[in-house]
């Protein structure tokens, strides 16, 4: 079960998940050493209320500061908190250097986010124990050469390697061999599994599933009726049956979704307040679809209220589209149907079930209008590429000058993170 073929020889799978600790904050402390001994958070513009904690150091964590919470709440917990703006050029540079270190040990290095990567050592080491030794070497090398720390999970698949990197932080290596399945992994909460969020956790708890072991031993039919196809997927994860390969370095997996999100300058309190934000985000998503010569069939709407409670809803678009107006109308239908009136602080829009422009699809009586709108928006794309994103804009998006941000560049939604929020 745990063997992987390399040529004509079978090796025990050895997968690493490398997660750099408090990454943004660690890089800022690297560039500003005097911040190493004070509570530190990396956050957005507090004056525009794009002020959420993107990362924090251990000093801030010890005082209760949490990633994702508004900065004003963090300051209430920790008045001494030092907040610095993000420097994404620095983070990308250190991230690239870390991945080059991983490549010294394997050609299968798959970035998961800017601070996380999987590394497949299968066939590069002779045993699982040697894989753990290599992980220790990588941990020490990252600290010595880059000045930041990394936590590494070592296991026989990607899901458990990711789980392992979360168990011990910071600057640690955690090994989860096949023998750890029932002794270490099964007693953990289902939230320890990738893609299991608070909504799924509550659904599982309602039917008596409180651990990964409970999930593994539950009837699959029950899980399918509760979670749909994800019931089968999570059941397989809990059993340790996850065989997704680690991609080769530079190998680009097919795009499965495109999304944008933003934290708002002020809470959305009434339905009309959604209009400029929705159009702004939908235009960015639609432009990215056209740049990739893609169309989408499903739209997902993510809302987070002032208490940081999130909900996600989705809707079928009827026919593949890359037109912002179609996306916006679908969003408004979801908002009208599902929004409970709670003040909304953050909003995200994502599309999935993508297909290429050249792919055939069923036309409707409205197809001619759709094509004209797509051509019009391509002209707008050209103007924005030449003169800047805000050289041309819908009048409705200019109602509030605080909304004048460029989410196309700054607020791209990570598909996996969004997917995790859905669950």
Catalytic residue positions, numbered: 116
Q: CB–CB of 56/38 below 8 Å?
A: no
Question: Residue 21 and residue 17: Cα distance in Å, rounded?
Answer: 12
Q: CB–CB of 2/156 below 8 Å?
A: yes
């Amino acid at each position: 079960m745990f063997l992987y073929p390399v040529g004509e020889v079978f090796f025990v799978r050895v997968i690493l998940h490398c997660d750099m600790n408090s990454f943004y904050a660690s890089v800022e402390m690297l560039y500003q050493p005097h911040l190493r001994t004070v509570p530190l958070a990396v956050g957005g513009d507090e004056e525009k209320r794009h002020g959420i904690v993107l990362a924090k150091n251990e000093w801030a964590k010890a005082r209760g500061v949490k990633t994702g919470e508004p900065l004003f709440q963090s300051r209430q917990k920790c008045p001494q908190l030092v907040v610095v703006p993000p420097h994404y050029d620095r983070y990308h540079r250190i991230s690239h250097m870390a991945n080059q270190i991983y490549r010294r040990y394997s050609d299968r290095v798959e970035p998961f986010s800017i601070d996380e990567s999987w590394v497949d050592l299968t066939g590069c080491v002779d045993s699982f124990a040697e894989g753990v030794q290599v992980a220790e070497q990588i941990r020490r090398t990252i600290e010595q050469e880059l000045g930041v720390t990394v936590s590494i999970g070592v296991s026989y698949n990607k899901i458990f390697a990711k789980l392992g990197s979360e168990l011990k932080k910071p600057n640690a290596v955690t090994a989860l061999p096949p023998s750890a399945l029932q002794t270490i992994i099964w007693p953990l909460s289902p939230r320890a599994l990738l893609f299991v969020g608070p909504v799924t956790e509550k659904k599982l708890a309602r039917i008596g599933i409180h651990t990964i072991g409970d999930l593994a031993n539950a009837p699959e039919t029950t899980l399918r009726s509760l979670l749909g196809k994800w019931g089968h997927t999570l059941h397989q994860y809990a059993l340790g049956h996850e065989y997704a390969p680690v991609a080769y370095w530079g190998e680009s997996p097919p795009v499965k979704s495109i999304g944008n999100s933003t934290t708002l300058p002020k809470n959305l309190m009434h339905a009309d307040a959604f209009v400029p934000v929705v159009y702004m985000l939908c235009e960015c998503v639609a432009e990215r679809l056209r740049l990739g010569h893609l169309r989408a069939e499903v739209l997902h709407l993510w809302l987070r209220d002032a208490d940081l409670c999130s909900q996600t809803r989705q809707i079928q678009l009827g026919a593949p589209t890359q037109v912002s107006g179609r996306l916006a109308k679908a969003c408004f239908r979801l908002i009208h149907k599902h929004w409970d009136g709670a003040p909304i602080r953050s909003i995200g829009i994502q599309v999935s079930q993508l297909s290429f422009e050249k792919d055939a699809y069923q036309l409707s009586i409205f197809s001619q209008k759709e094509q004209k709108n797509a051509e019009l928006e391509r002209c707008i794309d050209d103007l924005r590429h030449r003169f800047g994103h805000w050289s041309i804009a819908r009048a409705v998006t200019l109602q509030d000058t605080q909304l004048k941000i460029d989410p196309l560049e700054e607020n791209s939604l990570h598909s996996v993170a969004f997917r995790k929020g859905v669950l």
